[in-house]
Structure 1
């Protein structure tokens, strides 16, 4: 995928790297109450040092071909995140995403995920998954708009301090292999 990738309406995907650390840290801190409702990683202290550490991790993962971490930009501002984790051995990708409340409801996350799905297809992946808390209706709606099928519920699979949440598992088959079952 060539980055930046234009999504329309002044939105684009850019590589999440060292140059985006401060902007993503500030955005994460500002959205923390919302993120903590759905993301286990958000429970930890969100320091600039932890953001730098995460950026180094994602950069290494990107360099190894194991992920495509992107920042959703609007103009010059970071407004969210969309990533594709790649398990090349199994031929499976996993989408993760979030966007600032002020930018919800504009189709931006859906367009970002469509771009990442195209990239997964071009990389030869056979399947993509989205895992989200059962009660996260906005993320579930994104999965359904993208044509993912709800394949099951993983009970108590998501640690959201102080409770655990069930996880809705969505799948999208990109390539049909021999012996695969498709509805």
Structure 2
């Protein structure tokens, strides 16, 4: 069994760290602060955030980490969590799906790209994953830019594939293969 230790120093005061119970209060506060913006893209943001629900979600992520099914992380700037990035892993298929979000005050500084890059290194070089995917709303220009900046190929669009609030959104599927 894997011990729950995972931190990547990304330089310049930026780090990627394992999301654990010590992050719950801060991530709750960030979620509340960014809720209206997140509701444009994230189905989970349409429920009212509460600390106990986030604590349960974090426990599930920690269990999945120990079992090797997930890498749940927070993006940290100068010791303070400012967002989340993670991967859900399918060992049988040797694939992973990545997701991320960041506080509005920290957008546009490269933190998400650097965090996702660190996750890709872990997935491809340490976990033996052969394919990574990012799925995002077609209108989510910032999320799509992260995928494109990191070399993911736009492989197609799934029509009306994601229910977000009262609307269905098209989803852009991006893929990146591990180098042979």
1:114 and 1:141 mapped to 2: Cα distance?
A: 13
Cα-to-partner distance string for 1:83-136 (whole Å, 9 max, x where unaligned): 011100001011100111111111110000110000111211110000000000
Q: Is the contact made by 2:9 and 2:16 (CA closer than 8 Å) also made in structure 1?
A: yes
From 25, 33, 36, the equivalent of 2:36 is: 33
Match of 1:170 among 128, 151, 174: 174
Aligned partners of 1:118 and 1:33: how far apart in 2? 32
Superposed CA RMSD: 1.3
Report the counterpart of residue 87 of structure 1 in structure 2: 90
What's 2:8 paired with?
Answer: 5
> How much has 1:3 moved relative to structure 2?
2.8
- Cα distance in 2 between the residues matched to 1:158 and 1:117: 24
Q: What does residue range 1-183 of structure 1 map to in structure 2 within 5 Å?
A: 3-122=6-125, 123-176=127-180
Give the Å deviation of 1:4. Answer: 2.2
Gaps of 5+ in 2: none
Q: Give 5+ residue unaligned stretches, structure 1.
A: 177-183
Give the ranges of 4+ consecutive aligned residues of structure 1 lying more than 4 Å apart after TM superposition. none
Question: What is the TM-score with the length of structure 2 in the denominator?
Answer: 0.94
> What TM-score results when the alignment is normalised by the length of structure 1?
0.93
